[in-house]
Amino acid sequence: MTVRTGRILVALGLFGGWELSSRLGLLDPFFFSSPSAVAVRAADWLRRGTIWPHLATTVFESLAAFVLGSLLGIATGILLGRSSKMAEILAPFIQVANALPRVILAPMFLLWFGLGPGSKIALGVTVVFFIVFFNTFQGVHQVDPVLVDNVRMLGASEQQLLRHVLLPSALTWIFSSLHISTGMAIIAAVVGEYLGSTRGVGYLIAQAEGVFDTTGVMTGMFYLALVVLGVAAIVKQCEQRFLKWKQPAPAPSEETL
Amino acid sequence: MLMHDAVIELVGVTQRFAAPQGTYTALANVSFHVGRRRFIALVGPSGSGKTALLNLMAGLAMPSEGHVLSSGQPLKNLNRTAAYVFQQDALLPWKTVRQNVRLGLELRGRPDEALVSDWLRRVGLDGFSEYYPSQLSGGMRKRVALAQTLIVEPELLLMDEPFGALDIHTRLRMEAELLELWSASRATVVFVTHDLEEAIALADQVMVLSAGPASRITGSFEIHLDRPRDLMELKTNEQFLSLYRTIWTTLRPEVMPR
């Protein structure tokens, strides 16, 4: 049995079982909906085009949070990775900040940045930043000292050292966390929308939930799943491109998401 | 006395490191100089401070006492006239063979693709220029490391057991290639090894380091073997064997104390 047929079988079992129990009355369709109802609703949203602005909003917010959070995380990671004194001074603050449950911040961000994308991006940045920061820090900190010595002996300035050794080393760590950080950016966007917004997949889900429309909730989740699968495919492509030198070691599988 | 024709000179060098219980003295009052275009081998048991000596000559470490002079000038920073072939793999894993060989030129701001191709050819890797280090064998990686360091035409080539991790046949081939490359470049070489045969086969002069702590030089031997040397035949040569016996009497008590 190939992986592909295995996956199809699992999907058939899950959704077939769900559809069947819903039709046979084992699951109340009011509370659990059914795959066929979700499919009809998804097609309906697509035909009327109502899903596009919401999808675009969520994707934009996730992307912005991912890019901003990554840039901040990489910059801070390199800075602290190169200066152990500064890293030691800031360590307790970073630990406390990272331990804060981000969901608690969401209402604050709503107050500060309003109902629009700003508050969702801010929430996403606080999540993505720490993941990327910790990985960059590790990457810079744990770079093989022999590589640093070798490149310095070959004549590298501090800046060239950064470009040829520290950044590429950190990049492998950042890439290893890319699935998590992109996933978290999407979750943060949706949670932010869910808590208060006027647009986005999270908003759709919250609206449907407000009127006990389980089919609507499930359909929102269906579109979210599509976004996540798309992002995972892009991440995998990037990994193969940027970590080409790591082959033939098998690439970490995307199924861990 | 300062030797101004010496590429590198150590004057009364003592090296201490912070250790869990106080300080550890790796080198004690070491003095020697290396003349231009000479090939020096440093032999000694593990922990005899061989790598510490190379790091001092490279300017990667500074002596606790004494001076390191590069062409007569006290070394205060990295030794810009030196190149270093490390014991471990030091190629950048995210760069291809060609990018690794090009690195030294690139860092100096004078890329020269023709010269890079020339060096890839010289170390027999012109067919592997787009490979990554992880896709090469140990011997091929050492060839890349040689090209990477020699392309910048160093005055002083420091080598820290460069072939230690290779199998015996690959090693013999790499030694022969090193001698060939060296005779064309005529750089000054300081070659660290624990293998006395390798030291005699390659060098003009073999220096023996005592076992640590507080290692010092316990013997220095001129190797008057004709060049070019045929490494395949050399080791059964009577002159080679008698040199081996002589130096071994100095090295042996360091390797096996008592």
pLDDT tens digits for range A100-145: 888 888 899 999 999 999 999 999 999 999 999 999 998 888 889 9
CB atoms within 10 A of CB B164: 14
Q: Do B107 and A153 touch (CB under 8 A)?
A: no
Nearest by CB to A150, from B86, B132, B152: name it.
B86
> pTM of this prediction?
0.79
Residue A100 lies in a domain: yes
Q: What is the domain-level CATH number for residue A228?
A: 1.10.3720.10
Mean pLDDT of chain B: 90
Closest among B121, B141, B142 to B131, alpha carbons compared: B141
- Are residues B77 and B106 located together in one domain of the fold? no
For A152, the closest chain B residue by CA position comes to: B78
Residue B144 lies in a domain: yes
Residue A255 lies in a domain: no
CB atoms within 10 A of CB A36: 15
- Are residues B179 and B248 located together in one domain of the fold? yes
Mean pLDDT of B210-226: 88
How confident is residue B31, by pLDDT bands cut at 50, 70 and 90? very high
Which pLDDT does position A247 carry in this prediction? Answer: 65
CB B222 within 8 A of CB B205: yes
Kindly report, residue by residue over B61-115, the tens digit of the pLDDT. Answer: 999 999 999 988 999 999 999 999 998 889 999 999 999 999 999 999 988 999 9
- Are residues B178 and B71 located together in one domain of the fold? yes
The total number of structural domains in chain B stands at 2
How confident is residue A256, by pLDDT bands cut at 50, 70 and 90? very low
Kindly report, residue by residue over B122-142, the tens digit of the pLDDT. Answer: 888 989 999 999 999 988 999
List the helix and strand counts (H, then E) for chain B: 8, 10
Mean pLDDT of A9-17: 94
Nearest by CB to A149, from B60, B96, B149: name it.
B60
CB B83 within 8 A of CB B157: yes
- Please check the confidence at residue B1 and state whether its pLDDT lies above 70: no
- Cα–Cα distance measured from residue B8 to residue B69, given in angstroms and rounded to the nearest whole number: 6
Which pLDDT does position B236 carry in this prediction? Answer: 86
Q: Do B134 and A249 touch (CB under 8 A)?
A: yes
What range defines the domain where residue B105 resides?
Answer: 91-153
- Please check the confidence at residue B2 and state whether its pLDDT lies above 70: no
Residue B209 lies in a domain: yes
How confident is residue A251, by pLDDT bands cut at 50, 70 and 90? very low
Which pLDDT does position A249 carry in this prediction? Answer: 41
Residue A175 lies in a domain: yes
* Strand B188-193 with B205-209, pairing: unpaired
Q: At A4, give phi and psi (nearest 5°).
A: -60, -50
Q: Do A153 and B133 touch (CB under 8 A)?
A: no
Give this complex's ipTM: 0.88
Mean pLDDT of A153-180: 89
How confident is residue A171, by pLDDT bands cut at 50, 70 and 90? confident
- Please check the confidence at residue A250 and state whether its pLDDT lies above 70: no
